[in-house]
Structure 1
Amino acid sequence: MSLLDGALTRRKPIATETTEDSGGLRRVLGPLDLILLGVGTTIGAGLFSLTGVAAAQNAGPAVVLAFAIAAVACGFAGLCYAELAAMIPAAGSAYSYCYATLGEFVAWIIGWDLVLEYTVGAATVAVSWSGYLNSMLAGWGIHISPRWTAAPFTPVTLADGTVTTGLLNVPAMIAIWLITGLLLRGISESTKINAIVVALKILVVAVVIIFCAPYIDTAHYVPFIPANTGEFGHFGFSGVMRAAGMVFFAYLGFDIVSTTAQDTKNPARTMPIGILGSLAICTLIYIVFSLILTGVVDYRAMINDSSPVATAIDHTHRTWLQNLVKISVLLGYISVLFGLLLGQVRVFYAMSRDGLLPPLFGRLSARRRAPVASHLIFGTLTCILAGTLPIAVLGSMTSIGTLLAFVLVCVGVGVLRIRDPHRVRAFRVPGGLTAPVLGVACCLVVMASLDRLTWIRLIVWLIVGFVIYGVYGFRHSHLATGQSATDQAATDQSRDPSSS
């Protein structure tokens, strides 16, 4: 069998996906846990940072429309995720769904893509966290040299007015390692902290809306859609679409929810609640929040501002509120990083259990039942990205990865409806094939609006993935060797010295 033939025809049976041994992950999450995970992961850099970047560089006040357009595409994709998550409750999110519906090769593509999505997404959040930390410390009279809070070659202005370039974003790197350390404690302990942080974050959003609303200047909404500068993506309708592509990153949360299927109690019922519930809550918050932000701060003043909420709060001239919000935003980012760093490791865990990656990524510690080695590897990689790349680049890379995942999930729902129409579905997308088709179309339109360099980065990343799959994954796939995930779990335990 040729590489291409085998990769295209191997599909993991759905019965295996829903009944196989979970590999040791503890089923401890309920509906509220999943909604909190989704909301906690979704409300973060997309709201607190990319809103300002997208408004200043692409859409102006019409960034509100960009969030709405992204929400429509996400709504179709969210329905498809909910159907597949209820039918195929396995760790790995879109990777596992595509393995059962579109075959091993497409599953590899989406699994590799999801790692880009989550890893770069976590780096994006860490960079935004660094911006808010710097803003808060500056308010207290503590000044960190901007050269150590910005990516290399990024223009920065020193205290004496000298313009130079950044060296390394050290606070962003520290943030990654703090959350990696939390995840090493295990999923049960981590979600308790996450629930507290999410509640705090929702409180911050409410406080910002209530206290900033009186400072809205309606002149900031005129023109609502600034005239295009003559270049695609720079204001005008093309700018709104480009902004929609950038802020798509902001809707990453429900995707993260689907990676925890094997940590979830009764996933067939719980997963749709977590996915659709978190998506609905976050969409409402985004639209209201972006309207407030662009009303208080002129969009032109937010260019290259990684902490626009801090800028908006400064307009209220309430010192106590400024400090409270900035501290709360910093703490709130914990839940975002938690979800993203958890998601990327869960995807590689699922791929390893299927034999497409080395067993190291699927091996759990005996005490915490956590993939320690995988957390350390991804912590290092994410740390490097956070320290060396600016937020606009990271945000666009994450968005295109998210959009590709959504496209393939929508296609998977359509294919499975045609191939296996009578299979029992605990949750069914209404309207037949309408939602999957519209989901694919909406996501492709938004993808097309992203810049050429972002597409090049995605293609290079996928080419690297193809090489790894050809060298290792194709030959070691359990569907090729006949080895089951249960056999793999037993082998891993025998090799793990901590299990004795």
Structure 2
Amino acid sequence: MLRRLPISPPADNTGLKRVLGAGSLMALGVGATIGAGLFSLTGIAAGSNAGPAVVISFALAAVACAFAGLCYGELAGMLPSAGSAYVYAYATLGELAGWIIGWDLVLEYTVGASAVSVSWARYMRSLLDGWGIHLAPRLMASPFEVVGMRNGQPVHGLANLPAVFIIMALSVLLMRGISESARMNTVVVVIKLAVIAAVIGCGLPYIRVENYTPFIPPNTGTFGQYGLSGILRAAGTVFFAYLGFDAVSTVAQETRNPGRDMPIGLMGSLVICTGVYITFSFVLTGLVNYHDMIGDAAPVATAIDHTPFDWLKPLVKLGVVCGFLSVILVLLLGQSRIFFAMARDGLLPPLFGRVHAGWGTPVACHLFFMALTGALAAFLPIEQLAHMTSIGTLLAFVIVCVGVMVLRVREPERPRAFRVPGGRVIPIAGIVCCLVMMVSLDGLTWLRLVGWLAVGMVVYAAYGLRHSRLGRVIPAMRHER
């Protein structure tokens, strides 16, 4: 369980194609990051936790991301492999740590993609209704959701087919090739950034300064409800909005020059997303008093009501739909690459470690997650899917920062295409920031994480421990000696 992957570049016989550059990586990061977090979490965090000081919460989350991102950049240059934090943990801290992080991130990506697809279906239905196109309500809701009444009895949904459709469509696109997916993602990112810029530009003149007073509302006596603890709780909440940041590193093995392009892609996407989040949350809390955002599922629509621009509403819906498309795309991409890397290491069945000869993608991984993610989206309501929060990403960031320090001690002379400046200062700062935000999250979130990891340990003991490729190699080497 403590055996480690060798610190060396992966072989190029995996079948994955190295076609991505720094620009494509930044677009992937922005595509996965700017979505549900911008249009929903901003209002939730402001209304329930931080008030107008939610802008500080976004900045704090970004600082933690920056520390971790620099560490990701160093490890990606040394280990330009599919799998992201899973591979880094496996190579630095051992197989068990790698399995825990890989298992954790797979769940987070899967549930996240399902939840976002359900949100996408809701906004798409609203757009279609505005265009006079009406679909059967029972085919747009899960069996747990009531869509109407018949003879005094509630009528429940059958399945959320639009959510299943978008997952299938994007999975097929991903199976066809990474370059085609990256081009589609870039177009979508440009559209949604243009819409966000329109909302910010039109909202600025109608900001009410009194909505910023008090900028940091006094704490109510409960941890996380305003005050400094509220800012911290909000930072942990909005960290989910930075999930796409981690997804960038999952395509290191498909990057032309990982040592140079990966740090640029990671930090570039972080800078763009942080600027958008802070500006957008500043405008949002200026247009709408934070008290009015409590329980508001669509705070952006509420904010637009405080401007005279009715034409902005359909434009925002279009931006949300495009934003969710790119988020789903990159989440599906990230989870398949982590699963692929785990299978190549023997911790999962070999079927998931094969690459299509013509398309250069792990088709079995995409088909598996298309079925799993689609089933979750079809039959579970978003309220249950949304229970997965940012704790898994924070845990992965901690492991990556620890991995950098371990390698600095274990192999200080090994060449590094990119080196985190400041010695141990930045890795330690990243660990502290992420741990503080993890502690600020509620107990139920921790319980879900522990439960899922317990299931993962059963799977590892039943299959991964016995079939590990490294576990077979090491005894063979000892036998030869």
Flag whether TM exceeds 0.5 (same fold): yes
Post-superposition CA distance 1:455-476 (Å, at most 9, x none): 1110011001111111110111
- What is the SS of the residue equivalent to 1:203? helix
The residue correspondences of 1:230-309 to structure 2 (distance < 5 A) are 230-309=221-300
The partner residue of 2:90 within 80, 85, 99 is 99
- Consecutive unaligned residues of structure 1, counting only runs of 5 or more, are 1-6, 484-500
Post-superposition CA distance 1:122-160 (Å, at most 9, x none): 123223323433443454566778887666767x89799
The partner residue of 1:458 within 420, 444, 449 is 449
The partner residue of 1:346 within 318, 337, 343 is 337
Post-superposition CA distance 1:30-60 (Å, at most 9, x none): 1111111111111111112211222223222
CA contact 2:108–2:392 (8 Å) conserved in 1:
yes
> Which has the larger displacement, 53-62 or 185-194?
53-62
Q: Which amino acid aligns with 2:187?
A: I
The partner residue of 1:80 within 28, 53, 71 is 71
In the alignment, the residues of structure 1 paired with residue 345 and residue 296 of structure 2 have an alpha-carbon distance, to the nearest angstrom, of: 43
The residue correspondences of 1:483-494 to structure 2 (distance < 5 A) are none
- In the TM superposition, residue 388 of structure 1 has moved relative to its aligned partner by 5.3
In the alignment, the residues of structure 2 paired with residue 457 and residue 364 of structure 1 have an alpha-carbon distance, to the nearest angstrom, of: 33
Matched, 1:55 2:73: no
- What is the SS of the residue equivalent to 1:463? helix
CA contact 2:31–2:244 (8 Å) conserved in 1:
yes
Matched, 1:46 2:37: yes
CA contact 1:56–1:303 (8 Å) conserved in 2:
yes
> Which has the larger displacement, 453-462 or 110-119?
110-119
The partner residue of 2:415 within 420, 424, 429 is 424
The partner residue of 1:120 within 99, 111, 134 is 111
- In the TM superposition, residue 323 of structure 1 has moved relative to its aligned partner by 1.7
CA contact 2:147–2:156 (8 Å) conserved in 1:
no
- In the TM superposition, residue 259 of structure 1 has moved relative to its aligned partner by 0.5
CA distance 1:358–1:249, change in 2 (3 Å): same
- In the TM superposition, residue 280 of structure 1 has moved relative to its aligned partner by 1.3
The residue correspondences of 1:48-447 to structure 2 (distance < 5 A) are 48-137=39-128, 139-140=130-131, 167=157, 170-387=161-378, 394=385, 397-447=388-438
In the alignment, the residues of structure 2 paired with residue 183 and residue 226 of structure 1 have an alpha-carbon distance, to the nearest angstrom, of: 45
In the alignment, the residues of structure 2 paired with residue 258 and residue 66 of structure 1 have an alpha-carbon distance, to the nearest angstrom, of: 24
CA contact 2:144–2:379 (8 Å) conserved in 1:
no
Aligned residue number for residue 477 of structure 2: none
Q: Which amino acid aligns with 1:31?
A: A
In the alignment, the residues of structure 2 paired with residue 448 and residue 165 of structure 1 have an alpha-carbon distance, to the nearest angstrom, of: 41
In the alignment, the residues of structure 2 paired with residue 381 and residue 304 of structure 1 have an alpha-carbon distance, to the nearest angstrom, of: 30
> Which has the larger displacement, 255-264 or 120-129?
120-129
Q: Which amino acid aligns with 2:248?
A: V
Aligned residue number for residue 3 of structure 1: none
Q: Which amino acid aligns with 2:412?
A: P
Q: Which amino acid aligns with 1:198?
A: V
- In the TM superposition, residue 396 of structure 1 has moved relative to its aligned partner by 5.6
- In the TM superposition, residue 395 of structure 1 has moved relative to its aligned partner by 5.0
In the alignment, the residues of structure 1 paired with residue 402 and residue 19 of structure 2 have an alpha-carbon distance, to the nearest angstrom, of: 31
In the alignment, the residues of structure 1 paired with residue 10 and residue 176 of structure 2 have an alpha-carbon distance, to the nearest angstrom, of: 27
Post-superposition CA distance 1:184-216 (Å, at most 9, x none): 222121111111111112111211110111221
Q: Which amino acid aligns with 2:217?
A: P
In the alignment, the residues of structure 2 paired with residue 214 and residue 128 of structure 1 have an alpha-carbon distance, to the nearest angstrom, of: 30
CA contact 1:254–1:274 (8 Å) conserved in 2:
no
Aligned residue number for residue 489 of structure 1: none
CA contact 2:351–2:364 (8 Å) conserved in 1:
yes
CA contact 1:249–1:395 (8 Å) conserved in 2:
no
In the alignment, the residues of structure 1 paired with residue 67 and residue 45 of structure 2 have an alpha-carbon distance, to the nearest angstrom, of: 23
TM-score (ref. length: structure 1): 0.87
Q: Which amino acid aligns with 1:335?
A: S
Q: Which amino acid aligns with 2:367?
A: L
- What is the SS of the residue equivalent to 1:233? coil
- In the TM superposition, residue 241 of structure 1 has moved relative to its aligned partner by 1.8
CA contact 2:160–2:378 (8 Å) conserved in 1:
yes
- What is the SS of the residue equivalent to 2:311? helix
Aligned residue number for residue 12 of structure 1: 5
CA distance 1:127–1:51, change in 2 (3 Å): farther
- Consecutive unaligned residues of structure 2, counting only runs of 5 or more, are 475-481
CA distance 1:157–1:378, change in 2 (3 Å): closer
User: What is the CA RMSD across the aligned residues, in angstroms?
Assistant: 2.6
- In the TM superposition, residue 221 of structure 1 has moved relative to its aligned partner by 2.2
CA distance 1:53–1:243, change in 2 (3 Å): same
CA distance 1:147–1:201, change in 2 (3 Å): same
Aligned residue number for residue 495 of structure 1: none
CA contact 2:346–2:468 (8 Å) conserved in 1:
yes
CA contact 1:78–1:276 (8 Å) conserved in 2:
yes
Aligned residue number for residue 487 of structure 1: none
In the alignment, the residues of structure 2 paired with residue 283 and residue 163 of structure 1 have an alpha-carbon distance, to the nearest angstrom, of: 48
CA contact 1:50–1:247 (8 Å) conserved in 2:
yes
Q: Which amino acid aligns with 1:250?
A: A
CA contact 1:90–1:262 (8 Å) conserved in 2:
yes
Q: Which amino acid aligns with 1:30?
A: G
- In the TM superposition, residue 247 of structure 1 has moved relative to its aligned partner by 0.8
In the alignment, the residues of structure 1 paired with residue 289 and residue 165 of structure 2 have an alpha-carbon distance, to the nearest angstrom, of: 32
In the alignment, the residues of structure 1 paired with residue 140 and residue 291 of structure 2 have an alpha-carbon distance, to the nearest angstrom, of: 22
CA contact 1:296–1:315 (8 Å) conserved in 2:
yes
> Which has the larger displacement, 176-185 or 455-464?
176-185
The size of the alignment, in residue pairs, is 472
CA contact 2:148–2:155 (8 Å) conserved in 1:
no
